[in-house]
Amino acid sequence: MNESGPVTVAYYYRTRWGAHDEWLELFQRNHWPLLRAQRDEGRYSDVRLYTPRFHGDGRADWDVLVTITYRDWAAIAAHTPTELMARLFPDQERFRAEEQRRFELLEAHWDVVLDERELEIAHRR
């Protein structure tokens, strides 16, 4: 495990039946600006959002996956600065209400810290 380099975390979400689109809209409106700002400031090097292409692919444990590649372990320990939230969302009452609503739309949420493994490359002779 690399203790000093980038660390990728996968954030899995399972939305309640019928709430998928509303959850994505709230994520895009309220959470993505915070992630984008911190990516631009260097805390993250990459943020990606995935949804399954087809219904019924494998197990239905999740319907939204967000991966964030942090600069390092210290960047994971740091929390989103309150002043950044206030700057991006001057109407804090609305922001908090919409973030609460976003989490009410979830059935499950879990995080997985990923440990990248090197693949041995066989050389042809």
Q: What is the β-pairing status of strands 7-15 and 106-114?
A: antiparallel
Query: Tens of pLDDT along 65-81?
Result: 999 999 999 999 888 88
| pLDDT value of position 2 | 57
3-12, 34-43, 116-125: which has the minimum mean pLDDT?
A: 116-125
| pLDDT value of position 54 | 80
Q: What are phi and psi of 83, to 5 degrees?
A: -65, -30
Percentage with pLDDT > 70 across the chain: 92
The residue type of 4 is S
Query: Tens of pLDDT along 8-46?
Result: 999 999 999 999 999 999 999 999 999 999 999 999 999
| pLDDT value of position 88 | 96
Residues β-bridged to residue 95 = none
44 with 22: CB under 8 angstroms?
no
What class has domain 7-114?
A: alpha beta
Tokens 């960047």 identify what position? 75
80 with 68: CB under 8 angstroms?
no
